[in-house]
Every structure is written in C-alpha cells, then in structure tokens.
Structure 1
Amino acid sequence: MIRLCAVSDLDDPGSKGFHNERGHLFAVRQGLQVFVYVNSCPHFGINLEWQPDQFLDSEKRLIQCATHGAQFLIETGECIAGPCPGDQLTSVECEVRDGVVYLP
C-alpha cells in the first residue's frame, strides 16, 4: 500500500496533486469522501492544473481543466462541460483508514 496523505492535508472541499510511483495523481476531498484521479485531461492528455493543487473550479464544486475549461464531476470524473463531454478522468482506487488516504 502507498500512503498518499492525511485526509486533514486536504481542504474540505479541496484538492492536492501528487507524484509517486503510480504517476501524476490528484486527490479531491468532499466532506468525508476522497476521490483520486490520474492527472491527465482526456481531451488533450495534459495535466489539469496551471498552479499547484488547483484542480477545482472557483466554486469548488467541479474538477476543471485549466487549459480548455473542461469540467468533471468530483464523484465520477465524468466530463459534463467543455471539449470532451462524456469522457472521463481515470480514477484510482483509494482507501481511507484512520484518517489517512492509501492507494492499494
């Protein structure tokens, strides 16, 4: 198992990027839930953020690609607006145990 971060390291709601042996990833916290995705926009294959840890729109309700404005649901990674509707971010399985996010 890979220790990604403590849940308390993520704002609620908030996001944070990571680079480890699994590649470039980011985690999004929404309440008690944490979602992890590969940091790659399905439209163009580039990282989603321009600034470190900035993966959410201004209202912190959707994941947003900084380059083309594609917006994705936090819970599923599905694109609902922008140049790639219907595409999805690649989700990464995670587990929250004792306040820590792990990747199996």
Structure 2
Amino acid sequence: MTDERRLCRLDEIPDGQARGFPGAAGSFIGLFAVRRGGAVHVYVNSCPHVGVALEMMPDRFLDGAGEHILCAVHGARFQVEDGFCISGPCAGDSLEAVPARIDAEGAVWVPADAGA
C-alpha cells in the first residue's frame, strides 16, 4: 500500500463547493477537491493549457453556478466528475486527477506524493 496523507474531513468542504490544499511536501503545485454529496473529486491545481493555478482567490475553483471547474486565467471550463475540459484554450485536455478515498470517519485521503 502506498503512503497517504489526509487532506481534510469531507464535511470541511461544503457540498457543491471546492477547497484548495497544498501539494506534496516541497512541491509548489497544490491540489483542490470538489464535493458533490458524499463524493469528492480531487485534482492537481494546474491548468493543462499553461500550468497556472486555476483560482485567483482562495477556494474559488467553480463557475458562478457551481457546475464546472473554471480556470480564472483563461476561462477554460472542466467537468467536475472527470476533469475533462469542455471549453477554452485546452478543450479536449483534462485536469490531472488524484485518487482519493473517504474513510469510515469521513476523512479524505490522497497519495502522499500527490501534486509532486
């Protein structure tokens, strides 16, 4: 089994919203998680277009309707469920998904090296 690190508790991410997190130790690239009910989708916080962080303000990863992940720099929109870019300069590309699991106590875990 690979080493894991705890991001947070699922209930620390409001349903239908997102939250950013630091990446692996020593990394400059962070992670973010989007909650949909009892599920969480975690991605590396890097737009596939030019590698910039997606949000301009902390934890602002979703469009105004909360339907899509939005790159604040170039306006690319990504599906929450799989990170696939549906519009913008990187249409057809995808965000880098991070495997995540929720334990019996409601903690969200990702690989220790996620975002490295």
User: TM-score range with shorter-chain normalisation?
Assistant: over 0.9
Q: 1:4-39 CA deviation, whole Å, 9 max, x = no partner?
A: 000011011010100042641000001111010000
**1:80 maps to what in 2?**
86
Q: AA paired with 2:59? A: D
Taking the TM superposition and a 5 Å limit, the aligned residue runs for 1:1-104 are 1-21=4-24, 23-97=29-103, 98-104=105-111
Q: AA paired with 2:24? A: E
What are the ranges of 5 or more consecutive residues in structure 2 without an aligned counterpart?
Answer: 112-116
What are the ranges of 5 or more consecutive residues in structure 1 without an aligned counterpart?
Answer: none
TM-score by length of 2: 0.86
Give the Cα separation in 1 of the matches to 2:36 and 2:63: 13
Give the Cα separation in 1 of the matches to 2:16 and 2:64: 11
User: Alignment length, in residue pairs?
Assistant: 104
Q: Which has the larger radius of gyration?
A: 2
- The CA deviation at 1:44 is 1.1
Please report the RMSD computed on the Cα atoms of aligned residues, expressed in angstroms: 1.0
TM-score by length of 1: 0.95
Normalized per residue, the structure richer in strand is: 1
User: What is the aligned-residue identity percentage?
Assistant: 48
The residue matched to 1:8 in structure 2 has which SS?
helix
